[in-house]
Amino acid sequence: MGNIGVIVGSGLSRLQSSGEDYSPNIDITPYGPTSASLRQHELAGKHIVVLARHGQKHSIAPHEINYRANVWALKTADVNIVISLFTVGGIGNRYGPGVIVIPDQILDYTQNREHTFFQDHEPVTHIDFTYPFCEALRELLIHSSAEANVDVVKNGTYAATQGPRLETSAEVSKLARDGADIVGMTGMPEAALARELGLCYASIALVVNHAAGRGQGVVTGSEIENVYAQGADRLFNILVAAVPKAEQLGFELPDPIRPGSG
């Protein structure tokens, strides 16, 4: 049985700022340093390993995050279940500010990010990514939300954009035509790297603003901060309900595909 990891995005500072260093050596990986030290917390009587995706001081932009180091360090800390927290913009009608989503699909628009552990790798290795989130963990998060009395939308397609700028309204219209429901900047390559290392990875996403052109006027920081403040407690309550059960979670991920090596 492995550990439970939580990758914390913008906010949820009560998890980011407390806790003990997990193990200082784990923060330097073959891929470079992680965004922040891994920290060990007790949540609902269980140990979890927490990583602040943007760094302890929120100083690392989405395109600057060392996703490979972060995912590698979690694996090295014996994590096998990863709950990843995101803030996102909402595109579809069901995804207004304040809504919490357990996404089930991904569209990747990121560029020039180190996005694989299978670089110069022999034999050539592919992962199946038909269902990019670990279904067993998604189901657990959905059940835990109900248990914690927190309404969630049980599915949604997450579009990962490059950032750090927000999108134009035409770009958001294109994302909508492509089938995206929510948009963020950090879901990829994080989710794919987790799959490459065999981690059961799923996400809880809090919609903090209408994506560009979907609300009134432009997107503002104060709008985002307000929603985050209101949403953080609900995210936390889902985690408190999910963590004790995540420890016993059984899951299966597709085997890596190595053409020609069998």
Q: How far is the CB of 181 from ligand HPA (least distance, A)?
A: 12
91 makes contact with ligand HPA (CB under 6 A): no
| Among the residue ranges 69-77, 177-185, 188-196, 253-261, the one whose residues contact ligand HPA (CB under 6 A) | 177-185
Count of residues binding ligand HPA (CB under 6 A)? 13
Cβ-closest position to ligand HPA = 89
Indicate whether 9 belongs to the interface with ligand HPA (CB under 6 A). no
Task: Reduce the DSSP state of residue 39 to 3 states and report it.
Answer: strand
Out of 80, 87, 110, 144, the only residue in the binding site for ligand HPA (CB under 6 A) is 87
Least CB distance from residue 167 to ligand HPA, whole Å? 6
What is the helix (H) or strand (E) element at residue 101, kind and residue range? strand 100-101
Q: Is position 208 an interface residue for ligand HPA (rule: CB under 6 A)?
A: yes
Q: Does 184 bind ligand HPA (CB under 6 A)?
A: yes
Looking at the Cβ atoms of 93 and 119, the one nearer to ligand HPA is 93
Structure tokens belonging to residue 177: 């035509």
**Nearest of 20, 17, 37 to residue 28 by alpha carbon:** 37
What are the backbone angles phi and psi of residue 7, rounded to the nearest 5°? -95, 120
Q: Does 183 bind ligand HPA (CB under 6 A)?
A: yes
Q: Residue 259 pairs with which residues in a beta bridge?
A: none
Give the contacts of 117 (CB within 8 A, at least 6 positions apart).
68, 72, 193, 196, 197
Minimum separation from the CB atom of position 83 to ligand HPA (A): 18
Q: Which is nearer to ligand HPA, 79 or 208 (CB)?
A: 208
Asked whether position 211 contacts ligand HPA by CB under 6 A, the answer is yes
Per-residue burial over 95-130, b = 16 or more CB atoms within 10 Å of its CB, e = otherwise: bebbbbbbbbbbbbbbeebebebeeeeeeeeebeee
Give the shortest CB-118-to-ligand HPA separation in angstroms.
27
Total Cβ atoms within 10 A of residue 15: 22
| Residue 157 engages ligand HPA in binding (rule: CB under 6 A) | no
Determine contact, residues 223/211, Cβ cutoff 8 Å. Answer: no
CA distance 159 to 185: 8
| 134 sits near ligand HPA (criterion: CB under 6 A) | no
Which residues sit at the interface with ligand HPA, rule CB under 6 A? 87-89, 161, 166-167, 183-185, 208-209, 211, 219
